[in-house]
Each structure stands twice: as structure tokens, then as C-alpha cells.
Amino acid sequence: MGKSSEWLDGAHDPRDPNPWLALYLDASGPLADEVKRAWLSDASTRSRQFLLPVVRPLARLSIVLIQLLKIVTPRSWTSSRILHRMIAWGMKTFVSPEANWLILRHFHLGSQVLAFIARNAVPGQELPLHPLSPPDIDALKDDVFLQHDLNLFNFVINLNKALGGRAIEAPAKLDFSMIRQPDLRIEDMPRRWTNVIDLQTAIEVYTPVYQLFLTDNDFWRATNSLQLDEVIGIYCATLLGRPDYLVFLNNKHPLVPLTTLRAGFRLVLHGLSTEMLHALLSRAKAVASG
């Protein structure tokens, strides 16, 4: 993991315990070792410590200003193509290897989770899905971020139409065939001397850029998609028969949409919730397979 994870190898000092080591050794959550290491290595960087506190308030101010601008010029400067190319360039140039790896994983994991629900909630029916499994950062240029948001809403609509008002019930045997670890390696992520921006700071920077280059409707829909974490969590918990798993959920209350100001922070929580949910499904698959 490089210099960002030196805390893993340092000696424990009871008079000055390392908080990252404590979080890494804590086994109360389901995250796999590689994911937890990447997440904490990225969170323990100087970028997050010193840059994030400066970037976050500026990013939130930018969201307010762009919102005012969108009232006057609702469709000016909108271009999903430019947006995705800018994001991909920024990730390859400035974002840390751990953060890039976690971002790419997110699309794979999200698609697998939706496929798991679709296969088990309405067995025998084929719901229209649009799985996203970008093999590298360049693949994100194909409107992957925008499509990810569309996938969530379309899935909830199509699933509940297929259920016809019925509640989800677990089948006699769950199908975990779609749950697997993505074929992505941190070692393959860009490692220029400029690739130092942590995940949270990068997301805070990209949120107002996302807002600027999308229509106001697209941006609001994207931020409201974060409210669906609880919905997806309930679907999976019901199929698994484990309502206690909802304790790992962070974005709650889907019927009370929040403003766009905290979208960057909530997006990080969305990423962590997806990792947690996929880890729980992976555990359940291992148990089912004996």
C-alpha cells in the first residue's frame, strides 16, 4: 500500500495509539482485508487531513453558486460527454491508486447487488438491467457515472412493477452466482507523482463539476439516488432473512430527500454502504456453498 499505510507496520504505543490501526484491527464490520486496507490507507493520507477541510467548504459554496446560475441558465454548459472525460482525466492524473480502485469497484459491486436482488426477488423473470463493469478508468468516459444513477431508479421501478404490489419473499434457495470479486487490481491504477488526492477530497471536488455539466434535473436525480441505499439494503436484508444487516447502512430515510449541499459526503457513505453490502453477500455465498 505504500507510504500511506505505514501505520500498519508501526509499533503500538499505548500512550499514543494509532487510530487507523485500531479501525483496521476492529473486526465488527464485514469488509474484506484488502478493501479495509485500501480504504483506511486512503483516509489516512495528508490529502484528506489537510486538503479536505479546505476543499469541502469551497465545494459546497460552489454548489450554491452553480444552483443559482442554473436558475438563470438552466441548460447552459451541459455536456455529459465533457463531464465524464474530465472526471476520467482527473482520476488518472490526480487521484490516489486506492481511491481509483475503490471507485472502479463501486460500479462492479453495485451491478452485482442489483443482479442478486433481481434474480432472487422475482425468480423466473428477467428484469431489464444495465450492468456496469468498467475494466479501467478510460471506460468511465462512456457516461458510466450518469448511467449508474439511472440504473438505481430504473431498477426500483421495474422490480416493483414485476412484483405487482407483492412484498419481496426469499426463494427456497438463493442464487449467489453473480456475487464475486471484480477483476481489478490496485497495482494497475495510475501511480504518477501527482496521484495523491484521496477519495473524499476527489468526490468533493467532482460534485460541483458534476452539477455544472449536467442539467439541474440530472443532478438532483443523481443526489436523490443516494436515498435509495436504504431501499436496496431492505431488499437484500429481506432476501437474506437478516434485518440486523441494516445496521451497516448509512444513507437512510428515502422519503425525506436532503439538499445537494452534503452530496459529496453522502456519496462517500454510499460507496461504503455498497462495499459493506457486497461483503455481507459474499459471506452469505461462502456459507451457502459450504
Domain edges within the chain: 2-9+30-124+144-164+191-288
Q: pLDDT digit string (tens) for 51-109?
A: 999 999 999 999 999 999 888 876 667 899 999 999 999 999 999 999 999 999 999 99
| pLDDT number for residue 283 | 95
Could you give the CA distance from residue 102 to residue 105 in angstroms, rounded to a whole number?
Answer: 5
pTM of the model: 0.94
Q: Grid coordinates 487521484 are at which residue?
A: 95
Q: pLDDT digit string (tens) for 178-234?
A: 999 999 999 999 999 999 999 999 999 999 999 999 988 899 999 989 989 999 999
Dump the DSSP string for 24-72.
HH--SS---HHHHHHHHHHHTSHIIIIIHHHHHHHHHHHHHHHHHHHHH
